[in-house]
Amino acid sequence: MKSKKLLIEIIELLEKFEETRSTSGYESSLDDFILFLQQNRTLEEDRNDIVRIAQNVSFLHRYSKFYIKKALKGSLLQTVDEYTYLVALFNEESLSKTEINNLNVIEKTSGNEIMNRLLKAKLIGERRDEEDRRRMRVFIMEKGRAELMKVFPDLWKSATILSGILSPYEKESFLQTSDKLCDFHKDIFVNSKEGEINDLMLKLPQTDLKNQ
């Protein structure tokens, strides 16, 4: 959009804003105008934002895997998931298989395949749960700890590259927003994973549902 066209659009929006404030009895501020713009976004714009957020999250996941794959070159760890499973166990005495699958947001079948590879490589071990003998628990082996220590420096580099151009303020803002999203989705994955998509939609705030 050229500057002149943008300026005309801003003026038209400002006129609409002033019309809504004509009987308010007090002088409007820039913050009032910004709030007016946010409240008057079109449904199409909101839907476009939702699609873009989903795309960006998907792309960031792929970029992260791209960098981590480079960091793991020459390591006994062949996949990002093998790394995250070891990290989950690094400071734990042990975890049940369900616990570690939930921590990594991975379904049971895929999670068992990852653990079997780590067991075969002797990077983790397993034992029966003392309180429930039907349940298996896994723990990190010294070989697994050594492998993590070996790859940590390059993995730190991959993480740094991923968020590299963000300012400290942007990183903090992104972290707060992504933490909020992850907490929301973790609850669904752990407690409502069998729900249909329409059931999961009901977990959204009612104000969001009105815009769908």
The stretch 59-81 carries a mean pLDDT of: 92
Alpha helices in the chain (DSSP H): 3-21, 30-39, 43-71, 80-90, 97-103, 108-120, 142-162, 168-191, 197-201, 206-209
Q: Does the pLDDT value for residue 169 go beyond 60?
A: yes
Residue with tokens 């029966």: 128
CA distance 191 to 95: 19
Q: Does the pLDDT value for residue 18 go beyond 70?
A: yes
Predicted pLDDT at 23: 60
For residue 145, the tally of other CB atoms under 10 A from its CB is 14
DSSP tag of 16: H
Map residue 136 onto helix, strand or coil. strand
Q: 3-state SS string over 27-54?
A: CCCHHHHHHHHHHCCCHHHHHHHHHHHH
With cut-offs at 50, 70 and 90, classify the pLDDT of residue 42.
low
How far does Cα 127 stand from its chain's mean position? 32
**CB of 157 closer than 8 Å to CB of 71:** yes
Per-residue pLDDT tens digits for 133-158: 888 999 999 999 999 999 999 999 99
Predicted pLDDT at 43: 56
Angle between the N-to-C axes of helices 43-71 and 142-162, in degrees from 0 to 180, rounded to the nearest 10: 130
Q: Which helix (H) or strand (E) holds 128?
A: strand 124-128
Exposed, middle or buried by CB within 10 Å (0-12, 13-18, 19+), for 154? middle
Q: How many Cα neighbours within 13 Å face the side chain of 51? A: 7
Q: Angle at CA 50, nearest 5°, toward 64 and 63? A: 10
